[in-house]
Chains A and B, each alone.
Chain A
Amino acid sequence: MKLHTIYKYQLLDHRNAVLIFCAVILAVMALVPMQVTFSNTLSTSYESTRITGIDMAPAVFLFICGLSAFKENFLFALQNGVSRKSLFVNRNYVAVTLAVVMALFSLLLLALGKLIESPASGITYSGLLSMIYQSTGTASFSGLLEYLVSFLFLTVLFIAAQALGYFITVALYRMNKKLKISSIIGFYIVIFVVLPIIDMFLSGRISTILLSFLDVSMGISVHNPFIGMFSLIILSIIVSGFTWVLLKNAGVKN
């Protein structure tokens, strides 16, 4: 009973945010054709609009959902006699549920994009999958296969985004104030100052290695999204494993 309840509680915790997000994205999707039509009416020259990778927005949104999903839920779970293990297991169920829902929403966006896409309107729409894997290559997914592969890829991507966000928030919860501040500042300094400087001295060797790693792990050059899915699943498992290590000994802080 408690397991079911903590799942429901954590899921409902995201309900309003998800509804608002979907409404905003749909509004954006609705505004684009209106804006293009309006511009073409006013302008003498013909303008075309390309909408790409709008389904990256749910990934960012779910990353933020993961970031905000821990502290309150953890304390509330402990108040109601729910163990850390049950909280964590059900958090993962919630992450999968949200990922599936948002992947379906992204498919809806893809379908809407296809509807508004036409040479007459000047609008072209491409989803994240085709943006990453088809823009430069020969691999092609169309029709139902495109929807199916997109669904699988986005689901896995969204799970990974949430796992990463959740890990960061649990790690920050476990740190004391000094460590928290130094970690956040240290992260930005390393990523935005130290690495670029070293990279510059090494004639861009670090960024080349990182990009090659990203390319290989995501299967971009070989146009294989299944390699990307596999890497994202491995990433999710590793990150979730670290999260559990941090969470299993977490306690109430005074």
Chain B
Amino acid sequence: MNGIEINDVTKTFGDTLALNQVNLTFEPHKIYGLLGRNGAGKSTLLNIITNRLFADSGTITIDGLAGSENDQIQGLIYLMSEKNLYPESMTCNEAFKWTKQFFKDFDLDYAHNLATQFKLNTKKKIRSLSTGYTSIFKIIIALSVNTPYVLFDEPVLGLDANHRELFYRLLIKKYSDNAFTAIISTHLIEEIANLLEYVMIIKNGEILVNESCETLLSKGYSVTGTIKQVDTFIADKEVIGEDVLGGLKTATIIGSINKSTLPDGIEITSLDLQKLFIKLTNEEQSNETTYNL
């Protein structure tokens, strides 16, 4: 298996450059986070991978074969998209049954089991589902489809905290039982940071970061202490974020830590992925500053 290889993919919509010569590889059996601000090009990329849109130039191969207009290859991928592509007059039950016909490994019993866990009434028509339950309906199909590659585009849109937690648990369980490639595009970075093995940050149609989550998070750290202590400590360091709460201050720093120089009373925690994301994708600051990742 070669995974999903994206080579020099460019896509424009009128005057807007959605993707600019993107090169990426999604390896088999890994969980990827595809992160980016609104309009960064995440959904466009996922739509091109799954043959819903065509790239202006570049190629995409899945397990070594071209994915565009290839029924056999597209049978290896499932995209749970933000936009609902199921007929609104269809009931959830009917959608499950049809999915079983299109994807032979779709687990109908598991889908019904998940529907019970999420309390989804499968007799309801898709048009009558709330935003949250529409996401749940699509999550259930994505988790039951059993294709080698499952892509999630904003999977937790409209979901309450309990359902989001349940989704993350089910995803980990599913991945542990039978590893597959999951690509998750979401804005709730803090919630999925612990799930991800690799992080890809996309900005204005270009890949800004493409690294393992562990490597990325090892490139910095956060320190917490009194304002005075923290200010003294960070004076000569590359700081990407600061938060003050009462008398306590937390600073996020890029660079390696020398524990011998660490003053007493300062607590170290690992780098916050969301803070790093905000700093990297912030238009005004990133135009002026380059962080040495």
Q: Which residues of A contact B (CB under 8 A)?
A: 1-3, 5-6, 8-9, 72, 75-76, 78-86, 249, 251-252, 254
- Verify A81–B52 contact, CB threshold 8 A: no
- Verify B70–A83 contact, CB threshold 8 A: yes
- Verify B69–A252 contact, CB threshold 8 A: no
Residue of A nearest to B43 (CB): A254
Nearest chain B CB to A73's CB is how many angstroms away? Answer: 8
Could you say which residues of chain A place their CB within 8 Å of the CB of B75? 2, 81
Nearest chain A CB to B204's CB is how many angstroms away? Answer: 18
- Cα A85 to Cα B106 in complex, Å, equals 24
- Verify B78–A81 contact, CB threshold 8 A: yes
- Verify B69–A85 contact, CB threshold 8 A: yes
- Cα A81 to Cα B75 in complex, Å, equals 6
Could you say which residues of chain B place their CB within 8 Å of the CB of A6? 102
- Verify A81–B85 contact, CB threshold 8 A: no
- Verify A81–B102 contact, CB threshold 8 A: yes
- Verify B102–A2 contact, CB threshold 8 A: yes
Q: A83-B70, A83-B71 are known contacts; what are 4 more A-B pairs with Cβ within 8 Å?
A: A79-B85, A81-B51, A81-B71, A249-B54
Could you say which residues of chain A place their CB within 8 Å of the CB of B83? 252, 254
Q: How many residues of B contact A (CB 8 A)?
A: 25
Contact A79 to B104, CB < 8 A, known contacts A251-B47, A251-B52: no
Q: Which of B71, B86, B98 has the most CB of A within 10 A?
A: B71
- Verify B53–A79 contact, CB threshold 8 A: no
Contact A5 to B102, CB < 8 A, known contacts A75-B85, A79-B86, A81-B74: yes
- Verify A84–B69 contact, CB threshold 8 A: yes
- Verify A252–B52 contact, CB threshold 8 A: yes
Could you say which residues of chain A place their CB within 8 Å of the CB of B85? 75-76, 78-79, 252
Which residues of B from 126 to 164 have beta carbons under 8 Å from A?
none
Could you say which residues of chain A place their CB within 8 Å of the CB of B71? 2-3, 81-83, 86
Residue of B nearest to A253 (CB): B83
Nearest chain A CB to B74's CB is how many angstroms away? Answer: 3
CB-defined A-B contacts under 8 Å, sample of 12: A1-B104, A2-B71, A2-B102, A5-B102, A76-B86, A78-B51, A78-B52, A83-B51, A83-B71, A251-B53, A251-B54, A252-B52
Nearest chain A CB to B58's CB is how many angstroms away? Answer: 16
Could you say which residues of chain B place their CB within 8 Å of the CB of A8? 101
Could you say which residues of chain A place their CB within 8 Å of the CB of B79? 79
Nearest chain A CB to B93's CB is how many angstroms away? Answer: 15
- Verify A81–B77 contact, CB threshold 8 A: yes
Residue of A nearest to B138 (CB): A79
Q: Which of A3, A5, A83, A84 has the most CB of B within 10 A?
A: A83
Which residues of B from 48 to 63 have beta carbons under 8 Å from A?
50-54
- Verify B102–A80 contact, CB threshold 8 A: yes
Could you say which residues of chain A place their CB within 8 Å of the CB of B74? 81-83
Residue of B nearest to A8 (CB): B101
Could you say which residues of chain B place their CB within 8 Å of the CB of A78? 50-52, 85
Q: Please tell me if B87 contacts chain A, counting CB pairs below 8 Å.
A: yes
Q: Please tell me if B99 contacts chain A, counting CB pairs below 8 Å.
A: yes
Nearest chain B CB to A139's CB is how many angstroms away? Answer: 46
- Cα A175 to Cα B77 in complex, Å, equals 29
- Cα A86 to Cα B69 in complex, Å, equals 9
Could you say which residues of chain A place their CB within 8 Å of the CB of B99? 80
Contact A9 to B98, CB < 8 A, known contacts A3-B71, A79-B85, A79-B86: yes
- Verify A83–B52 contact, CB threshold 8 A: no
Could you say which residues of chain A place their CB within 8 Å of the CB of B101? 1, 5, 8-9
Could you say which residues of chain B place their CB within 8 Å of the CB of A5? 98, 101-102
- Cα A5 to Cα B77 in complex, Å, equals 17
Could you say which residues of chain A place their CB within 8 Å of the CB of B51? 78, 81, 83
- Verify B102–A82 contact, CB threshold 8 A: yes
